[in-house]
Each structure stands twice: as structure tokens, then as C-alpha cells.
Chains A and B, each alone.
Chain A
Amino acid sequence: MVGTGSGAGASGPLHPDPLHASFLARLPVDGASVSVVTVAGSHSTVSSSDALATRLEQLQFDLGEGPHYRALESRKPVLVADVRSADHSAWPMFGQAVVQTEARAVFSFPLRIGAVTVGVVDLHRLSPGDLSDLDLAHAAALAGAIAGKAAAYAAADADGEGRDELVAGTRRQVHQATGMMAVQLDTSVTDAFARLRGHAYAAGRSVDEVARDVVAGVLDFTDDPTDSETA
């Protein structure tokens, strides 16, 4: 068993354990970065192994396209085993840019909390080649294991506290409230989760407190005029 991150109480933007570490340790890749979609809708990198990993992610943020975004939208892994021979028609600008880097293979995995997508793990390799089925299973499990933490870290960076919220995914009411809000707002659970966090942030309350109110029926987002535009 890995330690439970004794640094969880530390302050500041330094993260107790780099979230990309397990990917480098368990998968045949040379670099990794972890990023999440923030409450404000922007992308925030919470963990990166090296300059190339950061550069690949930044390129995609700047261009607004690439495997990173495809993984986010499709909620499925996007695998480019050889960037020099791959079809880049889905991301032409990134395709041109990536072949000029040292990266020879790039892989993006959605970070999911249940059915909610909170971000992406971007991996790269300096030599071309596929990931095996075993690698894919590992990557999916590793992504599941860090998704809650990644979202919490991003929230902590945004307001300087609350790092422990959502860690370990034990908060049943948060997940239940997310499902309820998806129905009330007639949107996806991913959007509903963003709304839940946004509401908590704007109201200066914890996600847990707001979730409890939603499950108890005290708070109902049905026909909320501010919500109809988010779909």
C-alpha cells in the first residue's frame, strides 16, 4: 500500500505527491501530465513530469485541439502510436506542431469520477509504439484512482484551501447530487458536477454541504434561470 499522502495538510500549491508519478512508474512512457477543467471552465495543469509534457499540453491549450481535447470530449482514450505517420486530420494544427517536438507517441486518457469527466492525463513517449491491452487497463485504473484528487487539487489551487474535498471519492452524496442535478438541469453529469462545484464556490460553501442540500431536496436546480444557459 502506498502512504496516504501525509502532506495533505500542507499549504500552498505544492502537491504532496505528483499525480503523474504512478503513470511513469507503471506504463512504458517517458512523460506525463495531469490537467483538469476548472470551475471557471479553463484548463489547469496540476502535475507534469518534464518540460516536454508541459509543452505538449500547452500546445493543445493554445491551439484548442489535439488528443487531449478529443479524450475530454469522447470520454475515451485517444492513442497516437506514431506521431510521424498518424492521421492528424482531427487536429491539423497540433499535428504540424507535434512532429517538431521530440515526442514520437502521445496518449490521452480521460480522468473520470464515475461518469463525470474532470480532466485528462496526457502521456508521451520518445519512441513510437502502441500501448498493450494491459497498459490500457493500467492506465484506465490509474486515471480512476487520481481523478478525485486531481479535481480537488485544482479547487485547492483556485481558492487556497479545501484540498481534501472529494479525495478518495467517498462522498456518496456528492455523486448522488450530481445525478440529481443532471436531471434537474437536463444536462450531462459532467456539466452537472461543474455546476455543483460552481454553485458551492460562488456561495462560499463546501461541495459536500451543497450536495447534502440537493439530496435532501432543500436545493433544487429545476427551472433555475441561471442554469438554462450552461447546457
Chain B
Amino acid sequence: MMAERSRDARLSAAFVKVADTLIDDYDVVDLLDTLAQECVILVDSDAGGLLIADTEGTLQLVASTNEAAEFVEVIQLDAGEGPCMEAFQTGAGVTIPDMSVEDRWPAFRAAATGQGFQSMHAFPMRLRGQTIGAMGLFSGATGELSESDVAVAQALADVATIGILQERSLRDSTLVADQLQRALDSRVIIEQAKGVIAAQTGVDMHTAFTILRDYARHHQLKLSTVAEEVAERALTLPATARARAK
């Protein structure tokens, strides 16, 4: 249990961080990446993933705290048939306090427990009637999140969702779809850029992503911009970018 004071401080810091990414012309992938990272820390989870619906209503993984293929697979199973899909469809949170007694989604459960996860909570990304995706927070221990943890993570998710929807939806609701599609396109470019970095430096995909993100933050560039330049091979990132950014 985190001490109350340090928790308050971290909570404010998380809101400031998420709000900070909502500047003009912000990067949706950056925002969702920050959201997932901050929520995992705040509620003391072990991993988190964020899914956004594409134009056909299929959930796509846009950000995750762990880029290893095994974790990505867990999230993708969840996107097809699992708590995140349910949270997306119903607009309500889904709690699995103990995976070993969960029988609604056997394939998802098998993958999640195979990766050592014993519990998880799925949060809808919603604003009024509109749900744009879901966030899953996974833990290696059994047990439910406290009410305040759920409230905090949902509030952070709500802030991010408002940020995505509010700005343009007033003018034209179809622009939300444009923006979400851009986020999905960015994610593909990030994967291509990770491949470029992995082949250039010999690191694994998770490290490749860290190099990419740290370079973008260090140089105050958009993650998607850096990824595009790397994928176009107009920019070669130093393998030491991570160390330098710290």
C-alpha cells in the first residue's frame, strides 16, 4: 500500500502528465502511451494495454507498457473476446479478481495466466454515449482493485478520452474517426520503425520501442513523427538514445 501522501502526489503528477500531452497538435499514441504507463504505476498493476476501435469496430492495440510479443498476444486475445471487448461493448468496467475461477473467456484466460497474470481490470474509454476503446490493467497477484484505484484509473481514462473526442467532435463527428484512424496508422508506423531499429542495433522489440520513445521525448518530438522518419529511413537513432535521454 502506497502512503497516502505519496499517492496524492503521484496522482496529481499523473493528471498533469496526461493533461500535458493534450497540447495543440498532440499525438494520440503519445497520449495513450502515457495513460497506460501512469495507470499501471498508480494502481500498482504489472502491465497495461490500450485498445482503440477501428472503423469496423474491431479493437486494435495502440499502446502497451510491455511490448513483448507474449503480452501483446494476451491483449489481442482480449481485443477479440475478453474483458476489454466487453468493457468496450457495454461501456462499463469489467473486473476479474481471480483468473483461476474465470470461465467466460477460456482462450484469453489461458494466455493471461500463461504470462503469470492472476487478475485484471478493463476500463471503457468513453464519453457520454460514445465508447472509443478500452484499457486493460493486469496484475500478477489475485484480488480486486480498490474502489479508489478504479475511480482514479477511470478518471484518467476519461480525461484522455475527452481530450481525443472534445477538440474536433464539436465541429464534425466524423473527424473523431479520422483522428482515431491516424492513431492506428501511427501505431503501424511505430511497429515498422521498431523493426528498423531492431535490425540496426540487434535489440528486442521492447527495447526498440523504448529507444524510439525516449528519443522522441528527449528531443520533444512527436512519437509518430520520429517513427515515420525512422521507418522512411531518413533518421537513424543512436543505440545509446536511451542512456542519453535519462
Contact = CB atoms under 8 A, between A and B. Distances in A.
For chain B, give the interface size range.
Answer: 35 or more
B58 A176 contact: no
Interface string B87-121: 00000000000000000000000000000000000
Given A182-B195, A189-B231, A215-B205, A169 B56 contact: no
A3 B55 CA distance: 9
5 nearest CB pairs, A to B:
A179-B195, A114-B188, A175-B191, A183-B199, A1-B57
A60 interface: no
A179 B55 contact: no
B141 interface: no
A9 B181 CA distance: 25
Contacts of B76: 170
B228 interface: yes
Contact of A182 (B69, B185, B191, B196): B196
Contacts of B193: 115, 179
Interface of A is mostly: helix
Given A3-B56, A4-B57, A141-B181, A179 B231 contact: yes
B242 interface: no
Interface of B is mostly: helix
A137 B189 contact: no
A103 B160 CA distance: 44
Contacts of A5: 56
Contacts of B188: 113-114, 169, 175
B172 interface: yes
B233 interface: yes
Interface string A130-173: 00001001101110110000000000000000000000111011
B182 A144 contact: yes
B184 interface: yes
A178 interface: yes
A4 B189 CA distance: 24
A108 B56 CA distance: 24
Contact of A116 (B174, B192, B198, B200): B192
B91 to A, nearest CB: 13
A31 B199 CA distance: 42
Interface in A214-228: 215
A168 B54 contact: yes
A84 to B, nearest CB: 31
Interface string A1-40: 1111100000000000000001000100000000000000
A179 B191 contact: yes
Contacts of B79: 170
A140 B182 CA distance: 9
A4 B179 CA distance: 20
Interface residues of A, number: 38
Interface of B: 53-58, 60-61, 69, 72, 76, 79, 172, 174-175, 177-179, 181-182, 184-185, 188-189, 191-200, 205, 228, 231-233
Interface of A: 1-5, 22, 26, 112-116, 134, 137-138, 140-142, 144-145, 168-170, 172-173, 175-184, 188-189, 215
A180 B178 contact: no
A145 B183 CA distance: 11
Contact of A170 (B61, B69, B178, B228): B61
Given A1-B53, A141-B182, A175 B195 contact: yes
Given A141-B181, A144-B185, A188 B233 contact: yes
A145 B196 contact: no
Contact of A114 (B54, B55, B231): B231
Nearest to A177: B195
Contacts of B197: 179
Nearest to A1: B57
Given A4-B57, A112-B185, 13 more contacts: A4-B56, A26-B174, A113-B188, A114-B188, A115-B193, A134-B172, A137-B178, A144-B181, A168-B60, A175-B192, A176-B205, A182-B195, A189-B192
Contacts of A140: 178, 182
Nearest to B58: A168
B194 A179 contact: yes
